[in-house]
Amino acid sequence: MSKLVPAPDGLVGRRFDVALAKMMGISRAKAADLIESDQVRVIGRDLGKSGILGEHDTIELDLHRDEPAPEPIATDMAIAYEDDDLVIVDKPVGVAAHASVGWTGPTVLGSLLDRGVHITSYGAPGRQGIVSRLDVGTSGLMLVCKSELAYKEMRRQFSEHEVIKTYHAMVQGNLRQDRATIDAPIGRAKVSDFRFTVTPAGKEAITHWDVLERFGEATLARINLETGRTHQIRVHFSSIGHPLVGDPMYGANPRLAEELGLTRQWLHAMELEFRHPRTHLTTVVTSRYPTDLRHALDLMHQRKAQGTQGQ
């Protein structure tokens, strides 16, 4: 299927690639690619990318080879910290760290590049600058490296567990202890490629937690990770009978999540503490609860107050 478009009056006399870029809202390089691959052409004459668009020209766009839709951009993703070496974003829920097979939503890396933020070329293609990730369903602070120096040093700090990563999570039930450590290896669950589980064959995983507030039916906890396994917090708390509120994949009660208006697990990356890769000064960056988690927490306070009044 092709589409015919008369040359716009305002673009007559311009180079073909420049005119096409303006018409389609794409880069000049992309426009040139479309012309050179014969996906866009001028009817009746052989006009190259540097040719001049005429007043009576008709442009034919060959649409049967549509390009993939551009990646959505996370326009609401705030930047919590930035300098010449690092950028730390406050990642919203529903944003992946980077592109992956099957993911069609926004990514941290793509959204930063779209804003013109320079990211180091160090790292795997499509994951450059990333030394630590957050799940799509987890919000909060995520660090990306802008310089080669930062990438090498922050990768070392994360791998040697020198970065203090603090999360807040609301778990179901009443945790018996005020603080404790879960030391249990994590590996892929045999029942699903997407789930993980505590297993002797897994990799070392250590989670420290202490209670911030008790609601009876749930507990708000501060969590520090020594390791960074996929789904570590979710798996560890599920393994001790306290899955995260709003996390049915790991055993949470869907009714409680519905009553709290949650469509994902109550988990937020609250704070990062590390030595700056260039200055070596201790750097601490903090976040706040996003709207959905704050709303659920407020409802828990109401439920707790109503339960107290009824006694």
Whether 292 sits among the annotated catalytic residues: the reply is: no
Cβ-contact 27, 70 below 8 angstroms: no
- Which 8-state DSSP code applies to residue 244? B
Q: CA-to-CA distance for 311 and 298, rounded, in angstroms?
A: 21
Q: CA-to-CA distance for 290 and 279, rounded, in angstroms?
A: 31
DSSP alpha helix (H) spans, the chain: 16-24, 28-36, 108-114, 148-159, 232-239, 254-259, 291-309
Dihedral of CA atoms 228, 233, 238, 243 in degrees, nearest 10, equals -160
- Which residue among 17, 57, 90, 135 is the active-site one? 135
Cβ-contact 300, 289 below 8 angstroms: no
Q: CA-to-CA distance for 92 and 290, rounded, in angstroms?
A: 8
Cβ-contact 173, 218 below 8 angstroms: yes
Active site residue ranges: 135
